[in-house]
């Protein structure tokens, strides 16, 4: 099989028609990539995606027989079994879109002579009608051998996305980092709402009050970088405010103070990167945190 070039798309198939596959395959189809076959455990998602991309709805073996590139877009734990129950051919490229999984999830295909790769979009697939449109501009983490690494980078660019190279053996770290930018961000906002509710603010009003803070923080981070956008007591070297926060959170109980302490240490690292406040002020803040533990 020749490597993918922007001018000459290969035939693509999808085993799994969930949120990720629907958005990615739809965007690829709109970019002129030829989708030939789709399979899914439930027939209706496969039928929907097949109709959206002009492909046929078949079983997994039918996808492998029809396509040069096969995306296995099923849950991580199911990938080895799905791949192991399909007959692959030499020269075929078999891909998964797992964030944390290495290419060894596809070992059954590799042992059959196929090439393997991972292709993980850094994007929150919410199952919304505009997921395919919003996918544009996202980064895609790629792990593949030559020439497929370059081919997949070209494919990502064709989708309007940015290719990222992730070293083999490091995908768990990469994916853990992705969780901080996605689900853990939601967890931090939930903590904010919980604290405001404990302070007597209505929950819905608390959530609504977040968005100007969130939007302003993200805008500042885009413009100034993460360290440059840092605000709050650490950025000012205001140890007295941190002490008050910790006292209130300790009184609230549970792990609220522990979470605050861990995140404040990260804020100290950002402040050190920025170079302000001074090193001695940051050292004093670190000492206050240690004393409170």
**Residue range 17-56, pLDDT digits in tens:** 999 999 999 999 999 999 999 999 999 999 999 999 999 9
Q: 69 with 13: CB under 8 angstroms?
A: yes
What pTM did the predictor assign? 0.84
pLDDT given at position 9: 56
Taking the C-alpha atoms of residue 195 and residue 189, their distance in angstroms, rounded to an integer, is: 10
Q: What is the mean pLDDT of the chain?
A: 93
SS3 assignment, position 286: helix
| Neighbouring residues of 63: CB distance < 8 A, sequence distance ≥ 6 | 13, 14, 15, 37, 38, 39, 70
Among residues 35, 6, 10, the alpha carbon closest in space to that of 132 is found at 35
pLDDT given at position 3: 45
pLDDT given at position 168: 87
Q: 261 with 289: CB under 8 angstroms?
A: yes
Taking the C-alpha atoms of residue 27 and residue 44, their distance in angstroms, rounded to an integer, is: 20
Taking the C-alpha atoms of residue 174 and residue 100, their distance in angstroms, rounded to an integer, is: 7
pLDDT given at position 104: 96
Give the helix ranges, DSSP H, for 165-278: 171-181, 183-198, 203-228, 233-236, 239-252, 256-274
Q: Phi and psi at residue 10, in whole multiples of 5°? A: -85, 175
Which residues of the chain register pLDDT less than 70?
A: 1-9
């Amino acid at each position: 099989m020749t490597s993918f070039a922007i001018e000459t798309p290969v035939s693509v198939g999808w085993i799994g028609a969930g949120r990720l596959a629907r958005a990615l395959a739809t965007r690829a189809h709109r970019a002129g990539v030829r989708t030939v076959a789709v399979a899914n455990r439930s027939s209706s998602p496969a039928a929907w995606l097949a109709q959206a991309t002009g492909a046929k709805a078949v079983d997994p073996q039918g996808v492998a027989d029809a396509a040069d590139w096969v995306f296995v877009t099923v849950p991580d734990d199911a990938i080895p079994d799905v791949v192991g129950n399909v007959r692959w051919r030499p020269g075929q490229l078999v891909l998964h879109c797992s964030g944390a999984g290495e290419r060894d999830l596809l070992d059954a295909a590799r042992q059959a002579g196929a090439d393997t790769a991972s292709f993980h979009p850094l994007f929150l697939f919410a199952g919304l009608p505009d997921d395919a449109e919003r996918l544009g501009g996202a980064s895609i983490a790629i792990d593949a051998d030559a020439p497929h690494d370059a081919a997949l980078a070209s494919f990502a660019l064709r989708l309007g996305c940015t290719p990222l190279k992730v070293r083999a053996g490091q995908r768990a770290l990469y994916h853990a980092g992705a969780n901080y930018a996605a689900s853990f961000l939601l967890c931090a906002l939930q903590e904010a709402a919980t604290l405001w509710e404990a302070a007597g603010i209505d929950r819905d009003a608390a959530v609504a009050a977040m968005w100007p803070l969130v939007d302003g923080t993200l805008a500042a981070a885009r413009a100034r970088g993460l360290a440059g956008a840092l605000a709050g007591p650490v950025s000012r070297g205001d140890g007295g405010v941190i002490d008050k926060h910790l006292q209130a959170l300790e009184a609230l109980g549970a792990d609220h103070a522990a979470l605050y302490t861990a995140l404040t240490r990260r804020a100290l690292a950002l402040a050190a990167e920025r170079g302000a406040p001074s090193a001695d002020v940051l050292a004093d803040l670190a000492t206050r945190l240690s004393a409170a533990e």
